[in-house]
Amino acid sequence: MRPDDLPQALPWRPHDWRKGDHLLALLAANASSHPAEIAMRERDRGIWREYTWQDYHDTVLAFAAGLEALGVRPFEVVQIIGDNRPALYFAMVALGALRAIASPAYPDATPDEIALLAEREDVRCAVVEDQEQVDKLLQLEKEHGERYRLIVYDDPRGLAGKMPERFVAFTDVVARGRERLAADPLLRQALLERPSAHDVAVLLHSSGTTGTPKGVPLKHGHVLSAVRNAAQAGYFQNGDVHVAYLPMAWVGDYIFSIGAAFALRFAVNIPERQETVIRDLREIAPTVFFSSPRAWAGMITRIQVGMDESTPLKRRLYEHFMAFAIDLERRRLAGSPPSLGARLWRTLGEWMIYGPIKDQLGLARVRRAYTAGEAIGEDDFLFLRALGVPLRQFYGQTENCALCAAQSADDVKLHTVGRPFPGVEVKIADSGEILVRGDNVFDGYYDNPKASEEALEDGWLHTGDAGYFEEDGSLVVLGRLSEVAYTAAGERYVATYIENRIKFSQYVKDVCVVGENRPFLTAIVCIDLEAVGHWAEEHGVPYTSYADLSQKPEVYDLVARVIAHVNNVLPSGLRIRRFVNLHKPFDPDDGEVTRTRKLRRKVIYDRYAPILEALYDPARREIDFQATITYETGETGVIARRLRLYDVAPAQGE
- Are both 23-284 and 487-647 of the same fold? no
pTM for the structure as a whole: 0.80
Pairing of strands 424-428, 433-438: antiparallel
Neighbours of 236 (CB within 10 A): 25
Mean pLDDT across the stretch 230-250? 92
Residue burial 539-565, b: 16+ Cβ < 10 Å; e: rest? eebebeebbebbbbeebbebbbebbbe
What's residue 19's pLDDT?
Answer: 92
Going from N- to C-terminal start, the domains of the chain cover: 23-284, 290-364+366-395, 415-481, 487-647
Q: Would you say 111 and 140 are in contact if contact means Cβ atoms under 8 Å apart?
A: yes
Residue 269 has a pLDDT of 96
> What is the per-residue pLDDT for 40?
97
Domain 415-481 in CATH: superfamily? Luciferase; Domain 3 (2.30.38.10)
Share of the chain above pLDDT 70, in %: 94
What single letter denotes the amino acid at residue 166?
R
Q: Three-state DSSP class for 594?
A: coil
Mean pLDDT of 578-595: 89
pLDDT tens per residue, range 520-561: 999 999 999 988 998 999 899 999 999 999 999 999 999 999
> Which pLDDT belongs to residue 299?
84
**412 residue type, one letter:** V
Helices (H), 121-169: 131-144
- Where residue 28 falls among pLDDT bands split at 50, 70, 90? very high
pLDDT digits (tens, 9 = 90+) for 125-162: 999 999 999 999 999 999 988 999 999 999 998 886 66
Q: What's 23-284's CATH class? A: alpha beta
pLDDT for residue 104 is more than 60: yes
**pLDDT tens per residue across span 63-86:** 999 999 999 999 999 999 999 999
Give me the amino acid identity at 311: T
CATH topology assigned to domain 487-647: GMP Synthetase; Chain A, domain 3 (3.30.300)
Mean pLDDT, residues 611-629 taken together: 88
